[in-house]
Amino acid sequence: MKAEVEYCRVRAHDSSDAPFPVEPDGAAGFRPDTKTEYAARDPAVMLAGEAKILATWLTDAALPLWHSVGYDPARRAFCEFLGLDGRAIGTPGRVKIQACQIFVFAEAGRAGWNGPWRRTVRYGLRTLFRDYRRPDGGFRSRFADDAESVEDQAFVLIALAAVARFRPGGGRVDVAKGLLLVALQRMRHVGGGFHDADAGAPIRSRAHMRLLEAALAWERVNGDAVWRRLADEIVDLALLRFIDPQTGTMADRFDRSWGAAQSPDGRRDSPGLQFAAAAQLETWGRRRGDESARRAASRLYEAGCLGMGGYSGGAADEPDGEFGRLGVSLCTQAERLRAAAAFARGSGAPRGHYQTEAIEACRALRRYLDTPVRGSWRDTLGNDGRFSFGPTSSENLFHIVAAAGQLGLAARETDAAAAPVAGGAAYRRSVRFAAFGRAPYGLADREAR
């Protein structure tokens, strides 16, 4: 088993598109406590440093914690919450949590994390298919009932795509196609797009953006035209229906006649949704060479920043802000980082602006990660500037890892010609291997045992 883990680590390290390439043994890298002075405080150089800090937190703290106490060995399922003492709370219930954690550990393995990711993904897949798959091919939203939603199907597709990138072809591709062609088709709206199977369920743009993410992920796995068509269909729908052409914002809920509706908490749109949509539309637009989609994505990003009250440090929404008074969640900060990093991968004059945005977003996100239990986080920063004290949702690890992956790609594609004054050669190596730093010693040995 040790040889298998070691093989996977090297394989992921050699992969040109690994999300968080690991620094090889013996290479000095950027450490979170290194007080390096940057030449002219170049945003490109600082971006790689922030990527390294976040990566080190993931490999040294978050992944080991959530693999150990965030996993229920009795049910071989992932737990939904951790308490302030770092212990699991409640029993596994939602399929979204299982799918999110499968994605997290599959991406960690592709990055080269030498912890027990293979076994964790394998057990997660068993639970997913044993407890949540319906006879008709879809996946139920909760363990206890047969209800299903578009967003949950999308998360399952994302998880299966992350696993399939290690093992192309095979049963997971068939499952994914079956899910798309059978389960999702039952939820198709006659006017385009999808809605949940429940009678009267609204059309959710948030679910469509997650489905777009799934289609783009599968498009990279095997290039099948069915995924390209799905991605193109969702983007067309976003530009035609979801995005208000006057404000450039995306509403979340629509009735069956395409009228925008408020959510139960009174919001029509939220900063997190704007950032999530911006990241996916920018990715799609860059692949297709579609500048109109990229312009729409840029407007969505600016709308998300406006919705946060224009405060880059992660404070609550302004009292009279357009998006309400509910504070800023970790999910919103992670989606902001992911979107900014996606734009920072572009070219031209805006690149430097979005590099700076990504740096600020990463620093804001790290405020949430400063907790007594290393590897945990606070879920929400309230209007009063104080963090909520409640259970930690495991779902947010998905958002952190996805953001770290985009940040790593942005750092790796950045021109790092301006090296720090101190440790230039070592730093250039850390740029190359930015985002998931070195895993803790001993994890591979424990996995072998």
What letter does residue 94 receive in the DSSP assignment? B
Evaluate if residue 449 carries a pLDDT over 70: no
Question: E strands, 366-416, where?
Answer: 380-381, 392-393
β-strand partners of 88: 82
pLDDT, position 311: 44
Evaluate if residue 129 carries a pLDDT over 60: yes
Task: Give the burial class of 295: count Cβ atoms within 10 A of its Cβ; 0-12 exposed, 13-18 middle, 19 or more buried.
Answer: middle
pLDDT, position 180: 81
Evaluate if residue 8 carries a pLDDT over 70: no
In this structure, what token pair is assigned to residue 185?
């088709």
pLDDT, position 334: 97
Q: Model confidence over 193-216: pLDDT tens digits?
A: 999 877 678 999 999 999 999 999
The pLDDT-based confidence of 418 (bands split at 50, 70, 90) is very low
Evaluate if residue 415 carries a pLDDT over 60: no
pLDDT, position 300: 97
pLDDT, position 263: 63
Higher pLDDT, 47 or 8: 47
CB 121 within 8 A of CB 106: yes
Q: Per-residue DSSP letters for 1-69?
A: -HHHHHHHHHHHHH-TT-SSPPPPTT-----TT--PPPGGG-HHHHHHHHHHHHHHHIIIIIHHHHHHT
Average pLDDT for residues 64-83, to the nearest whole number?
Answer: 90
Coil/strand/helix, residue 72: strand
Residues of the chain with pLDDT > 90, as a percent, come to 53
pLDDT, position 388: 83
Comparing 101-110, 304-313, 314-323, the range with the smallest average pLDDT is 314-323
β-strand partners of 328: 381
Q: Per-residue DSSP letters for 123-176?
A: HHHHHIIIIIB-TTS-B-SBTTS----HHHHHHHHHHHHHHHTTS-SSHHHHHH
CB 242 within 8 A of CB 293: no
Average pLDDT for residues 178-189, to the nearest whole number?
Answer: 86
Average pLDDT value over all residues in the chain: 80
> What is the domain partition of the chain in residue ranges?
1-71+270-449
pLDDT, position 15: 41
Evaluate if residue 429 carries a pLDDT over 70: no
Evaluate if residue 354 carries a pLDDT over 90: yes
pLDDT, position 393: 93
Q: Report the distance separating Cα 278 and Cα 250, nearest Å.
A: 10
Q: Model confidence over 220-272: pLDDT tens digits?
A: 998 899 999 999 999 999 999 999 999 999 999 999 888 887 666 555 568 99
Q: Model confidence over 269-279: pLDDT tens digits?
A: 689 999 999 99
**Cβ atoms within 10 Å of 45's Cβ, excluding its own:** 25
